[in-house]
Amino acid sequence: MEYGLDKRSNALKIFNTTFIIVWLLVACFPFIWTFWGSFKVRADFFSRADWWYAITAFNTLLETGGKFTTDAYSQAWTEGEFWKASRNTVIVTFFVVTISLFLGTLGAYALSRSTRNYAFWILIAALIFRAMPHITLVSGYLFPFFQLQIWGILPTTIVVLVAINQPFTLWLLYSFFKTVPKELDESALIDGCSYFQAFRHIIMPVMWPGVITAGLFSLMLAYNDFTVTALLLNQENHTMVPKIQSYLGTNQHEGNLMWAVSAVVSATAPLFMLVMFFQRQVISGLTAGAVKG
Amino acid sequence: MPNKTFFWFFLPTGLAMILFIGLPIISTGIQSFYAQHDQVVKEVKKCDPFGCTVSIVVDQEKTSKIREEKPLGKFNGFGTYVDRNHLAIEEIGNFWNETNSFGEFVDQVTNLPFYKALIFTLTYCLFVTPNVLLLGFIIALSLNAVTRRIRGPLIFGTILPMIVTPLVGSLVLFWMIDAEGIIGANLQMLMDDPYLSLKSSKTLTWITIIIYGIWHHSPFAFVVFYAALQTVPQEPVEAAIIDGASRWQRVRHIVLPHIYPVVTFVALISLMDNFRVFEPIIGFSAEGSAQSLSWLIYDNLVNEEVILFGSAAATSMMTIVGIAILLAPVLIRTWKEFRTAR
């Protein structure tokens, strides 16, 4: 708030700047540190002797001859089969985003244009569904999925993630559709369009910002999910996040922990890039439900 | 929009939600009334030159046959709900009779798995939610006072902890806090205690997970508060400045009342999310001293020998009841608003 009348004292300015710097350190340093450490050997990043080794790269020099090494990456991606996990993540994410946007836009458009009571109750039901912990849903899935023998494969997980994602997508797109004036599609209806044609040719072209935001959130959910993917996929089909967890559990290799570190960096980097490009959309999505009431 | 058109537009998403959110809840409810079969045992007589011994072994064939016939398990009614791993009615009764002081009784009860998890979950919610609101609000206020030009990168830095999945976020912190990591090693030096480590004490573990929770959720509160701050009208603020209101008074009497609805929204969302805390426990490998309700369910579902569907389902149902209690005030308020709006 830049108030014309407001004079901030120097003390307050200094306090403010210090606070922001400290907070940014707290928020970002862990990621920077992990990124830095992922190019070291284990004895440096998890040093029993002296944490300073992580910076001077004492053991990395001894073991590999250089200050930085990409061994952890190459091993995790080949031996650790992280390539497979990232391929699975790409497949899951792509289909989850596409399908949930398709279902979500149709449903949210209908909700925003309906004046009946049931539209309100459906939104409330979606809110309750949104609150369900995913693990309770998973405990409901496992048994029927075993019986139907559809456990462990990617399509099942995609459908489940789409469904889990629907309540949030509906609410988000609903608040976006509400901002598109009704007169726009009503005039199209008078001109003889069907509802679907009005939706397809009149509403969708002006809805892109909302759709991109909803798509980003579906993407983050599918990409980041652990509960569903860890329990509904078999080893072979694991996506990145459960794969990272599997590196932690097995202690046969000394390198495994470093695999996890490099895998964490590999999995996080694309996400950060994406958010950097779409920061505006992410923020508008988070506030859509809240600020507009 | 006519009902028929609405129906066709809404059918796909409605079907997805009913099939994969509605039905699973019902399925969980049914499963919670069943328990896995006991193993069928048989007596085997073994004779050797020194005599005969009778031993009891598991009849694998019969056991797997009965499991195949009735995969859901045997009907158990509310048995799973009241057993030792859940509400433990009987045990609590015994503790009440056996223990001498109330403190001892509470001690015993809080050692039961379900109550232990419930207490951790509630403690986590209780400490994380208010701190998230507070920290988010302070960050929003202070970023709002920064020159507009450099806000973009600052906001990007601020929301990083929120974007990463909780498992990755907690791992990244854990690797630093670990005794062999940068913060852990320095803390040991600072405290002059070479055995100080996260895993060594329950309190430390809880504090770490709670700090992680605040770190992870504050950016969300920040983003929402920041957006709300942009909508605060300037006139009353300027009027207050002219009237000589201090900075604190302006925040207290103008800004806060204006963004109050948003505060309740953030509090609700963050409470719901905190109630299902689960991934950080795995990330921090803190299973030993901190268990949450969601973690109990996960633990049942990844059980090595037999997946404990019934036990997981019973905990799930009780978690859902917990969520319902949290949501009730909001739902009641919405219902009242809806009735008066009509």
Chain A, residues 197-216, CB within 8 A of chain B, namely 199
Closest CA to B161 of B227, B197, B120, B211: B211
Lowest mean pLDDT among B48-52, B183-187, B220-224: B48-52
Query: Are A109 and B9 an interchain contact pair (Cβ–Cβ within 8 Å)?
Result: yes
Query: Are B172 and A6 an interchain contact pair (Cβ–Cβ within 8 Å)?
Result: no
Helix (H) or strand (E) holding B45: strand B41-48
Query: Are B27 and A143 an interchain contact pair (Cβ–Cβ within 8 Å)?
Result: yes
How many residues does this entry show for chain B? Answer: 342
Between B163, B219, B261, which is nearest A271 by CB? Answer: B163
Q: How many CB pairs under 8 A join A and B?
A: 278
Q: Is B95 left (phi over 0), alpha (psi -120 to 50) or beta?
A: alpha
Average pLDDT, integer, range B130-151:
89
Lowest mean pLDDT among A41-50, B213-222, B292-301: A41-50
In this structure, what is the dihedral angle of CA atoms A32, A35, A36, A40, given to the nearest 10 degrees?
160
Spatial separation of the C-alpha atoms in residues B296 and B309, rounded to whole Å = 12
Report the pLDDT value the prediction gives residue B134, as an integer from 0 to 100: 94
Average pLDDT value over all residues in chain B: 86
Residue A217: CB atoms within 10 A of its CB come to: 19
Average pLDDT, integer, range B288-300:
90
Q: Does the pLDDT value for residue A225 go beyond 70?
A: yes
Query: Are A264 and B172 an interchain contact pair (Cβ–Cβ within 8 Å)?
Result: yes
Domain locations along chain B: 76-105, 112-341
pLDDT in tens, B176-205: 887 777 887 777 778 777 777 777 788 888
CB half-sphere exposure, B264, CA atoms < 13 A: 10
Chain B, residues 213-232, CB within 8 A of chain A, namely 215, 219-220, 223-224, 226-229, 231-232
**Which domains, and CATH codes, for chain A?**
38-69 (no CATH), 83-291 (1.10.3720.10)
> Cα dist. B36→B149, B216, B298, B310, B314 in Å?
62, 38, 17, 7, 13
Q: Does the pLDDT value for residue A131 go beyond 90?
A: no
Residues 6+ apart with CB under 8 A from A181: none
Query: Are A141 and B24 an interchain contact pair (Cβ–Cβ within 8 Å)?
Result: yes
Spatial separation of the C-alpha atoms in residues A199 and A188, rounded to whole Å = 9
pLDDT in tens, A240-273: 999 888 888 655 455 588 888 999 999 999 999 9
Report the pLDDT value the prediction gives residue B125, as an integer from 0 to 100: 93
Average pLDDT, integer, range B46-55:
76
Q: Does the pLDDT value for residue A292 go beyond 50?
A: no
Q: Which residue has the higher pLDDT, B307 or A32?
A: A32
Report the pLDDT value the prediction gives residue B144, as an integer from 0 to 100: 86
Chain A, residues 131-160, CB within 8 A of chain B, namely 131-144, 146-147, 159-160
Mutation site for A-interface testing, chosen from B8, B21, B300 by largest number of A Cβ within 10 Å: B21
Spatial separation of the C-alpha atoms in residues B169 and A27, rounded to whole Å = 11
Q: Which residue has the higher pLDDT, A49 or A180?
A: A180
Mutation site for B-interface testing, chosen from A20, A118, A136 by largest number of B Cβ within 10 Å: A136
Q: In a 10 Å sphere around its CB, with 0-12 CB exposed, 13-18 middle and 19+ buried, how is residue B149 labelled?
A: exposed
State ipTM. 0.86
Fold of B112-341: MetI-like fold (1.10.3720)
Mutation site for B-interface testing, chosen from A135, A142, A279 by largest number of B Cβ within 10 Å: A135
Report the pLDDT value the prediction gives residue B183, as an integer from 0 to 100: 82
Q: How confident is the model at residue B128 (pLDDT cuts 50, 70, 90)?
A: very high
Report the pLDDT value the prediction gives residue A293, as an integer from 0 to 100: 37
Report the pLDDT value the prediction gives residue A4, as an integer from 0 to 100: 47
Report the pLDDT value the prediction gives residue A235, as an integer from 0 to 100: 83
Chain A interface includes B234 (CB < 8 A): yes
Average pLDDT value over all residues in chain A: 84
Chain A interface includes B328 (CB < 8 A): no
A47 and A53 Cβ atoms separated by less than 8 Å: yes
Residue of B nearest to A270 (CA): B164
Between B157, B226, B334, which is nearest A24 by CB? Answer: B157
Percentage of chain A surpassing pLDDT 90?
Answer: 28
B240 and A5 Cβ atoms separated by less than 8 Å: no
Chain B residues whose beta carbon lies within 8 Å of the beta carbon of residue A162: 16, 20
Sign, CA torsion A168/A263/B124/B228: negative
Chain B interface includes A170 (CB < 8 A): yes
Between A106, A131, A133, which is nearest B13 by CB? Answer: A106
Between B1, B307, B319, which is nearest A133 by CB? Answer: B319
